[in-house]
Structure 1
Amino acid sequence: MIVKTLGRVDYLPTLEAMRAFTAARDADTPDELWLCEHPPTFTQGLAGKPEHLLGPGDIPVVATERGGQVTYHGPGQVTAYPLVDLRRLGIFVKEYVFRLETAIIQTLDGYGVTGLRVGGAPGIYVRPGDPGAHAALTGPIQGFSGLAKIAALGIKVSRHCTYHGLALNVAMDLEPFLRINPCGYEGLETTSLDKIGVFTDWPTAAGRLAERLSAQLQP
């Protein structure tokens, strides 16, 4: 997998570049992983409902073809776009999502943070009050009580090839998340590493995430 660090780039040109890469690739095209950071942008998924945009204000809203509802991208967030041929990798979409989440969980574990999956709600969650706790979630989760989302997923697959990806909150201004129902969940709390006591810089977090994603997305 070829890893490319793009730095801070506007969202729409990056989306157009992913589309172009995916449309032009063939069976021999190497997989790539793009790492970047976007200026403040709300992105709406294919089935996104307008009522989940509570008041975007001065932040632009971009409609996309990825799955999921509305989310926010902004400074202090590592956004990772794996451009992967699933057929060559020998896996289907469900396994692909599981591997993306595993890479995030492993990255968080390296910082002493326990990442958690919630059934039916893609992404990774943490316990803000006790981020290193290893106790498993038990019983139905009512309104994400005691949890906050630290990483979001939204993917698109075209001709067995993936684009869009995931976002890990590292050191963010979280106020824009209050302008939406994150990922379509009213009242869902979001957090970032710095808010739970983990202080790292963007290049370090991006490098660790890239390492885990590259390992997870090997044949």
Structure 2
Amino acid sequence: MAALVKHLGLADYALTYEAMRAFTKERNSVTPDEIWVLEHPPVFTLGLAGDAGNLHSPSNQIPMVQVDRGGEITYHGPGQIVVYLLLDLKRLGIFVKELVSRIEQALIDTLADFGIQAERKPGAPGIYVSEQASIPPEWFGAKVAALGLKVSKSCSYHGLALNVATDLEAFGRIHPCGYEGLKTVDMQTLGIKDNIDTISQRLLQHLQKQLMPS
């Protein structure tokens, strides 16, 4: 059963969060999976294990929302592709650890399509820029994508965020994922000029390849 893909445009975070929770609570064994592709207005979100102190320079213009995903603090804003994965993992036959690995691989493959080598880091969820000749050394090891999930009754929600052309100054207000001094970068800073819709389509293709049975 193919997932229903919904392109939601620029969507309020709190309303989208409540919609994800409601969808997951109300779904049953025959409810089709859904993939939501969107952007958010500026917002900080703090995961279950998060320390609010990792927002070290609060902004009156950017709210912070406590949420029920795993992980620490992160930022969402325009110019960042957010994908929420509302999946029945039991039906797909995917365990949580494997789901994380497959999401990470889809992100790595997407970045590779645009000439960026990226990698996982043990103990630090997300995707990071690898050392490579085409990128200034200052961006080696910088975080370019984040992920955080919640699984309830074998169904996932929340998902991933890929920085395309977003406000890096906002990331400077937090310790991303709780790591002080961790650099965050976007694809535009790494020299990628393709528009967000083109990148979004490619990411969606890789996610579907990784997550959906053919």
Superposition TM-score, scaled by structure 2 size? 0.94
Give the 5 Å matches for 1:47-66: 47-58=49-60, 59-66=62-69
Give the 5 Å matches for 1:90-101: 90-101=93-104
Name the stretch that deviates more: 99-108 or 51-60: 51-60
Q: Which amino acid aligns with 2:11?
A: V
* Cα distance between partner residues in 2 of 1:132 and 1:119: 22
Aligned counterpart, 1:169: 163
Residue identity over aligned pairs, in percent, reads 55
Map Cα deviations across residues 25-82 of structure 1 (whole Å, 9 max, x no partner): 1111111100000000000000101221102212100000000000000010000001
Aligned counterpart, 2:4: 2
- State the SS of the aligned residue for 2:5: strand
Unpaired segments of 5 or more residues in structure 2?
Answer: none
Q: How many Å apart are 1:132 and its aligned residue?
A: 6.8
Which 4+ stretches in 1 moved above 3 angstroms?
127-133
Q: Given the alignment of the two structures, is residue 107 of structure 1 paired with residue 110 of structure 2, yes or no?
A: yes
Q: When the two structures are aligned, how many residues end up with a matched partner? A: 209
Name the stretch that deviates more: 196-205 or 124-133: 124-133
Map Cα deviations across residues 120-174 of structure 1 (whole Å, 9 max, x no partner): 10110004774579xxxxxxxxxx9931000000100000000000000001120
Q: CA RMSD in A?
A: 1.7
Q: Given the alignment of the two structures, is residue 157 of structure 1 paired with residue 151 of structure 2, yes or no?
A: yes
Aligned counterpart, 1:214: 208
Give the 5 Å matches for 1:79-98: 79-98=82-101
- State the SS of the aligned residue for 1:55: coil
Q: Which amino acid aligns with 2:99?
A: Y
User: Could you tell me whether the CA contact under 8 Å between 1:170 and 1:200 is conserved in 2?
Assistant: no
Q: Given the alignment of the two structures, is residue 30 of structure 1 paired with residue 32 of structure 2, yes or no?
A: yes
Unpaired segments of 5 or more residues in structure 1?
Answer: 134-143
* Cα distance between partner residues in 2 of 1:128 and 1:165: 26
Q: Which amino acid aligns with 1:212?
A: H
